[in-house]
Every structure is written in C-alpha cells, then in structure tokens.
Structure 1
Amino acid sequence: MTQPLQIGNYTVRYPLIQGGMGVRISAGRLAGHVARCGGVGVVAAAGIGANSSFYNGKNFFYADSEAFKEEIRKAYEIAPDGIVGVNVMVALADYEELVKAAVVAGAKVIICGAGLPMSLPELTADHPDVALVPIVSSLRAAQLITKKWFKSYHRLPDAVVVEDPDTAGGHLGEKMENIGTGEYDQYETVRQVKELFRSEYCTDVPIIAAGGIWDRNDLEYALAQGADGVQMASRFVCTEECDADDAFKQAYLECGKEDIGLIMSPAGLPGRVILKNFDNIRGYDVENHTVCRMACLKKCTYKENGERFCIVGALDRAQRGDTDSGLLFCGTNAWKADRITTVQAIFDELFG
C-alpha cells in the first residue's frame, strides 16, 4: 500500500504529482481533477495566456498573468480542498511575475525547471507556506540550488523532482548529445539527491521521480528504487479532463513508438515530441511571415534571428487542434495511449 506524500505543510493522499504541460495542455480542468482525486494537480504557466480571453494579440504578459490566476481558480472550483500547484519554467521572460501571480491565486506548490530557480525563495518570501520544488536531472544541480537556498534564505526545497532526460517529455535539462546514451541512471540520481539532504542537512526531503512513469508497475518500481513519489504527465493527456483539443489527444492515440523523438527548441534546450509533420512547423512560420509577438522566453533563437520556429505559437496551434502545423510535446511512453479515459480511472489503476 502506497504512503501519502508530505510536501512542506501539505499531505498528498497519493504520491503523485501531475506533470506540468505548457500552453494549456494542463490548465485548470486537468489540474483540478487530479487534485480532487488525491494527487497534486499542476497548472503549467508557459504560454497560458496565448489562447485566453485576456489576450488581444499585443498584451501577452498581462494575459499570461491573468490567465494563470484564472486557471488556478478554476482548479480550486473543482477541488476546493485539493492540493493545486503550478509549474513555472525559469526560462520564461515573465518567470518572476508568474511566480508572484501563482501565490496570489493560492497555489500551494511551485515547481520550477528549465533552469535553476536560485531566487525562488525570495520571490515567495511573503508566502512561507507555499511548497517550493525544483526540477533537476543531476546531483550537481541539486547541490547548487540547495546551497544557494540554505545560505541566502535559510530554506531547503520541500521536495525535489529528478527528471530523466532519456524518457521525459517537453523541454529537457540536458545536452542533446548526452540524451539516450544509456549512461544516465535516474534512480541512482534519486538516491544521491536523497543522501545529499541526509548527510549535509540532517533531514529527509521527498524525492520525486519524473519521466517514463506510465502504469502501476512503473510507480511501484520507482518507489522500490528509493523515490518518495512520481510525476506523470503524458499519461494524463488522453483523459476527458485534459485541457487539450480532442485532435491533440487523437495524435497521441495514433502515434507509434518510432514517431517520438528529439528536436532542438528555440529556447536552446532539447525537447521530446511527436515527430509527425514536424517539418510543417517551420513552414507555417515562414509562409505566414510570422514574427515574434510574445517575447515569451528569456533566450529564443526565433525571437533573436528568426531561427527554427516560434515555439509558443507552435504549441498553441497544437493545443487548439491544429496537429498538422502544431508541436506536440510528449514522453517516450506516449505511444502506449490506446483510449480516452478519465483521471479517476488512472488513479484507480495506480492506487486502487
């Protein structure tokens, strides 16, 4: 029988965090239902203003902040007593504003990756009950974050997500040439990070395994290998409650194992995607003379010199249902999706 997961001041009934999927794949509806079922439901900040009533084509950052708060509120309408968290990429240009918007809206957990969230405790200083959770792929990254937080803010992470770049979806915190070599050992990293807190700080901090978790066997294996919980994202796409368009979900149902691969994002990070029709993404931006209107990332090759493609635009098109010229992030196990199910059914399978 699985044990509850303690993250800061919050006791999560089941040791499961729903992974953040940007540009409205995991918005208020999915996060709310996961929280209602007893996990940590996560609203992803990246690009959340793009397909919102707040965006008029010129006010992206305002729309981002307001839409983010609205989706967090939606999640709490579904799960008033649930644990609703957020995922805010450090690489976002409005990272600090989105963190502040999240705490104002009542997020209980803030998860940050795609960069090292060195200043996160400072941004949330007025809300000490909010649990802070960095995403890392190495012991070194965990050491750097923890040393900075402890020295500057007298605070430790409330949990750490260890993401496996060989299996996780979306943006990956590893160099392209190091992914898929077979050298990375996720659970050795999990154990190393756990030992970091025990040996240097004399405490236990929950370590969450992310990437490649699909079914009950994967969950039980992760827990047996030393993880205190798991983060799952791709598994929740093909649910009735997922915020993506039905065409997005259908692309998961139709993709094969061989259709999933790596691209280089204009954010300067590798990303794992469904590769079908990938060539059409760049073609869309060229044919439509698309210019950067959002400036959503701190660093972006498309914004700076027109290289590659507009990533938020491509993700937004896919979320709306244009899977021909849209980008679909996914984990390596997305091909296993074979039906539309419900969040509750997934929890029943995992923990029933």
Structure 2
Amino acid sequence: MDRLVEILQIKIPVIQAGMAGGITTPSLVAAVAESGALGTIGAGYMNAEVLKSEIKQVKQQTDKPFAVNLFATNLQASSKDIAEMQHVLNPFRHELEIKAGKESIEVTDYLQEKIEVILQEDIPVVSTAFGVLSQDSIGKLKANHVTLIGMATNLEEAKQLVDAGYDIIVAQGCEAGGHRGTFDVNTYKDGCNLGLIVLVQELSANLSVPIIAAGGIHTKKQIEGLRAIGADGVQLGTRFLVAKEAGTNRAYRQALIDASTADTVITKAFSGRPARAISNRFIKEVENSSVATLPFPIQNEMTKDVRAASKKLGITDFQSLWAGQGVGAIDKEETAAEIIKSLGM
C-alpha cells in the first residue's frame, strides 16, 4: 500500500468516495483529510461556481490534499418525450403537495468549466466515474500534475483508463452503493455485476498501477483480506454517509442504521442508471408500472423534485437511499475521524 500513500501524499490508504448530491460537505472532506485519508468532493452534479465555493471552504479547514470527483460523461440532454413517466411520478408529487411535472426536461453540462476550476485551484487529485475523460481534458490535468483515479467495474474498463493515462484504478464491485462506474449500461443493463474479490484479483494480476478496492467495505478485517489479494487501498462510501460531518439528512441516516444486509436492490427508478439503494415504495411502484425509466440524466432530472420534497419532509418513501451491501453493519453515527480510526490504519 506504500505506493498509493506516496502517490496521493496521504498517510492512510483510505479514500472517502465522491458521493454526489450534497453528501460530501466541506466539513466531511476536510475531516477525512485531517485524519490522514483522502477526502473527496462529489462534484458530479455541481456547476463551476458551486464547486469553486466548496473547494475554498475545504481549504479553509485543512491544508491536506483532497480530491474532486467528476462524471466523465456529457450530461447535456433534453427531452419532451416524458409524458408517460410524468404520469407515473405525478401521484407522488400530489402526495407530497408539490407541483405536477414539467412537459419537457433540459440538463446542462458543466464538465469543462469544472475542470478549469480544478486547474485554477490546484486540486492534486481528480477521480472520475462513468467513463474516460477526453484526451484534451486529461492533457490539461496532467500538465498541472493532477493524479487521475478512474472507477472500473471490469478489466476492459480498467485497461481503457490506464491506456488513456489514468494513474490509479478503483475496482468497484457490485456490492457498492449508489451509481457504479460502468461505462456501457446498454451492454450491462444492471451495471457490470462482478464481485469485489474477483475484480480486485483480476485487476491486480493484469495491471501495474495501484488498485483501490470499493464496494461493501466497512471493517478492518475486510481491508486486511483485500490487501492480501492485491488491493493497494480502499474506498468507502456508505460508511461515511453516517459520518456526523456528512450532508446526509436525518431520515436517510436512520434508514441506513435500520437497514439489514438484504435490504438493498439495484434500480434505475431514480436516475435512469443502475444504482444500489435501500428498497422503498418509490422503487417498487416505478418498477411495477408499465413505463420504462428514461435514460440518465433525464430520469434523474425528472425525479429531483420528488426526492427533494421527500427529503424536506423527512420521508424515506421517495428518497434515493443509496447504500452498499455492507449497510447492515452500520449501527450508529460517528465522526469521520472515528470511522477512519476504527479501520485500524
């Protein structure tokens, strides 16, 4: 694991996952960094202005290295062919006492602007999901000595990342919560569902770059086992959802603490991309309807108001309760420092 620590300039080979959607508060990222691990701003849905503000807030709280996570895909999209899905979603809106859905959806992409912010702010590490950044973007980041971490759910994806110039690969097993990094969800309808142990073994046997294990990891014993089969470090997401510094709302936190190991499912209901979440009423009713989910990010944009209203009211029925398969091991809230200390590293 020494080479990972050296490359990232951290003390502990642990990465806090770049969970988008307001979870990775500046306080969480800074607390992780101060504990010697790598904190990550989940910037997938942010615009450049928000990202710049978040970076500055982290820097006010720590002088340690931290990362920014981006979606390596163009989010620019629009659609008017959404009436059927809005018909499915409107009863939820009625129940939550919010306006009916719009007749059209438009999503703006801010990737290039965010890369410029990263360069301006001298961020040392960038991680990406959903594919490979363009050679132009990689060239700009490399020219600024940025270390690139790419999420891979199979060997082919990992090789694409390495060939493009990425320095570190995250082996993201099917146990992982939320959206995994699967590049082609047309080929892999539910995401590429290789288990973490097999994936780490295959990537470490075929690649020379450091491998970070991710998916369902919560304990020191798991980490020791993953080290033994070739992992240079680990990435944790779900465990940090209940960190006291995280932006996780109260109802979501309690759902994580109450959940058992068998309570998660892979669903496209919220975003149009396969993601692992605690099963709830929204997932069941959308999937039991006769209407197919729309592609990401259209479906994600369409359900945003429902999820936000549910969060505001403290209702879990309609929230995207992203969680990995290890969620059953969570039984309390802790500070980021306490979480990292418990990993024995």
The TM-score by the shorter chain falls in which range?
Answer: 0.7 to 0.9
Is the Cα–Cα contact under 8 Å of residues 23 and 248 in structure 2 kept in the other structure?
Answer: yes
Change (3 A) 1:243 1:299: closer
> Paired residue for 2:178?
170
> Paired residue for 2:93?
none
> Paired residue for 1:157?
166
Aligned-partner Cα distance in 2 for 1:206–1:190: 11
Unaligned runs of 5+ in 2: 76-108, 288-293
> Paired residue for 1:328?
321
Aligned to 1:341, the other structure's residue is in SS state coil
Aligned-partner Cα distance in 1 for 2:140–2:273: 25
> Paired residue for 1:340?
333
Determine which of 210, 214, 230 is the counterpart of 1:210: 214
The CA RMSD measured in Å over matched residues stands at 2.8
Equivalent residue pairs, number: 298
Deviations 1:167-190 (A, max 9, x none): 00111226245766xxx3434433
Deviations 1:202-261 (A, max 9, x none): xxx211011111111111111111000000010011121112222221121122333311
> Paired residue for 2:139?
122
> Paired residue for 1:310?
302
Q: Is 1:43 equivalent to 2:33 in the alignment?
A: no
Query: What TM-score, normalized by structure 2, do the two folds share?
Result: 0.77
Change (3 A) 1:29 1:319: farther
Determine which of 78, 83, 107 is the counterpart of 2:123: 107
- 5 Å-filtered alignment, 1:1-352, equals 3=2, 5-6=4-5, 8=7, 10-48=8-46, 64-80=47-63, 82-91=64-73, 92=75, 93-119=109-135, 120-127=137-144, 129-147=145-163, 149=164, 156-165=165-174, 167-172=175-180, 173=182, 175-176=188-189, 184-198=194-208, 205-265=209-269, 268-279=272-283, 299-302=296-299, 310-313=302-305, 316-317=308-309, 321-351=314-344
Amino acid at match of 2:238: S
Amino acid at match of 2:337: Q
Aligned-partner Cα distance in 2 for 1:341–1:75: 20
Is the Cα–Cα contact under 8 Å of residues 274 and 329 in structure 1 kept in the other structure?
Answer: yes
Aligned to 2:118, the other structure's residue is in SS state helix
Amino acid at match of 1:46: G
Deviates more, 1:95-104 or 1:241-250: 95-104
Is the Cα–Cα contact under 8 Å of residues 272 and 299 in structure 2 kept in the other structure?
Answer: no
Change (3 A) 1:223 1:125: closer
Cα deviation for residue 282 of structure 1 reads 6.1
Is the Cα–Cα contact under 8 Å of residues 280 and 324 in structure 1 kept in the other structure?
Answer: no
Aligned-partner Cα distance in 1 for 2:35–2:299: 40
Aligned-partner Cα distance in 2 for 1:170–1:67: 22
Change (3 A) 1:188 1:323: closer
Amino acid at match of 1:344: A
Aligned-partner Cα distance in 2 for 1:333–1:281: 25
Query: What TM-score, normalized by structure 1, do the two folds share?
Result: 0.75
Aligned-partner Cα distance in 1 for 2:197–2:226: 8
